[in-house]
Amino acid sequence: MALLLVGAAVSCKTKETGFSIHGQLTGIPSGGVKLVTYKEDDRSSKVIDSVPFSNGVFTIKGKLDEPQMLTVLIEPGGWSFQVFSGNEDVQITADTTGAEHYDYAKYGGGVGAMIKNYTVSGSKGQDEWMAFQHDSGQKKYDEAMAVLDTAFRAEKDIDKQYKIRDQLDSVHKLQLAWKQDWISRYINQHPSMAVGAYMMNDLYQEDPNMPLSNMETMLNGFTGEARSSGYCKRLFTALDKRKALLPGSPAPDFTLLKSDSSSFTLSSTRGKYMMIDFWASWCHPCRQAIPHWKEIYAKYHAKGFDIVSVSDDNRWTDWRKAMDQEKMPWMQVDDDFPIKNMPARVGTLYMTTYIPFYVLLDKEGKIILYTGNEEEIDARLKALLG
């Protein structure tokens, strides 16, 4: 598994005068170009600058606080592509042929096309990012997952769909391990390159459950511009939040609404062993797990065990319908979504990245288990309550 490094002996030097991006577009003769940054904290975007263009030629100039991934957005048509750049002179050629069109209007999103056929020169970070993206080691997993994805979309039986999804997950885990190894070696060789922090941040978005020890080792390898980058700062924040959810830590308290609009507060359950069950009406494996939790509840409730299910539904009609169907005898509350286009508040507080997910608490409200594996919960309850 070869690690391809582009210009490995060259250090990244930014220009104090700022950046200059020169573009030549084929297929879009005239319009406007925007240079956009994306803020992960609230999923918002910010336009750095915008310019009109004609004859397919444009130039955007400005100054960046740090090297980062930028989106070049071309109107009309919502055409776009990404470039990693700092304060450098960058040359771009782009062709709309073969662009990947999308339409998310019915979901409240936009309509546009991702340009696939483009080249960038003058950006060291972009060269390194492309080397990572185009490595043959990564591509073999992409190809395998594409075959499984086609089979998944063609399958109509939901149980068979989930079997294919399990296969997809297995291949994806192998790819994530490959990516982590590649990026770890890149950090070791180029600890100050900001694009390395971007690579790790991108990996963490895809694999937020990577082992804490691996995450900490990778982060501590960064120096200079990479360590001071916004990407690295966000990752250190995520690391601290994950550490706060380790066994023995106090469970973050929360208050949510029950279906009758009265409030439930987690800390009111002190004195019992408590399991927080993160689920949703639309989650097939969550619904499949309910009969099992009914058995566990019946077995241990009289011994001081209880459950609170926190639903990820943003429509109460769907949530109430599911509760009427499932008839779960324990506490039910619904998570809330105070920030538009952001995940639910309590799910975010507990850093749940998939459901079903379970957090088992002791009588003092401290975390015993933090897991998506119901068998681990079963074993611990048996040890605690017999």
Q: Please check whether residue 43 is in contact with residue 34, taking contact to mean a CB–CB distance below 8 angstroms.
A: no
Would you say residue 106 has pLDDT above 90? no
Residue 209 backbone dihedrals phi, psi, to 5 degrees: -105, 20
Percentage, residues of the chain above pLDDT 70: 96
CA pair distance 287, 312, nearest whole angstrom: 13
- Tell me, what's the pLDDT at 11? 35
- Spatial strand order in the sheet of 57-62: 57-62, 19-26, 89-95, 117-121
CA gap 197, 177 in Å, rounded: 17
Asked, as a colleague might, if the bond just before 29 is cis with ω within 30 of 0, I would say: no
What pLDDT does 16 receive? 59
CA distances 330 to 43, 175, 258, 315, Å, are 35, 39, 11, 20
Position 20, amino acid: S
Residue 7 confidence (pLDDT) = 36
Could you tell me which of 149, 137, 150 has the C-alpha nearest to residue 176? 137
For 102-115, letters b (16+ CB in 10 Å) and e give: eeeeeeeeeebbeb
Three-state secondary structure of 300-318: HHHHCEEEEEEECCCCHHH
Q: What is the pLDDT of residues 147-174, one digit of tens each?
A: 999 999 999 998 899 899 999 999 999 9
The answer to whether the beta carbons of residues 129 and 84 sit under 8 Å apart is yes
Any idea which of 14-28, 57-71, 214-228, 354-368 has the lowest mean pLDDT? Answer: 14-28
DSSP 8-state secondary structure symbol assigned to residue 27: S
Average pLDDT, whole number, for the chain? 93
Placement of tokens 């950046």 in the chain: 19
pLDDT at residue 198 above 50? yes
Is 156 exposed, middle or buried, given 0-12, 13-18 or 19+ CB atoms closer than 10 A? exposed
d(CA 147, CA 50): 40
Q: How far apart are CA 342 and CA 282, in angstroms?
A: 18
Question: Look-up: residue for tokens 């952001």?
Answer: 342
Confidence band, pLDDT 50/70/90 cuts, at residue 109: confident
For the cut 90, the answer to whether the pLDDT of residue 110 exceeds it is no
Q: How confident is the model at residue 41 (pLDDT cuts 50, 70, 90)?
A: confident
pLDDT above 50: residue 10: no
Question: What are the φ and ψ backbone dihedral angles of 291, each rounded to 5 degrees?
Answer: -55, -40
- Going along the chain from its start, the domains and CATH numbers come out as 19-121 (2.60.40.1120), 135-243 (no CATH), 255-385 (3.40.30.10)
**What does the angle CA 56 – CA 61 – CA 64 come to, to the nearest 5 degrees?**
130
User: What confidence tens digit (pLDDT) does each residue in 48-97 have?
Assistant: 999 999 999 999 999 999 999 999 999 999 999 999 999 999 999 999 99
- φ, ψ for residue 340, nearest 5 deg: -60, 135
Distance, in Å, from the CA atom of 28 to the CA atom of 56, rounded to the nearest integer, reads: 6
pLDDT tops 80 at residue 268: yes
255: Cβ–Cβ under 8 A, 6 or more apart, which residues?
263, 264, 265, 266
* CA of residue 127 relative to chain centroid, distance: 24
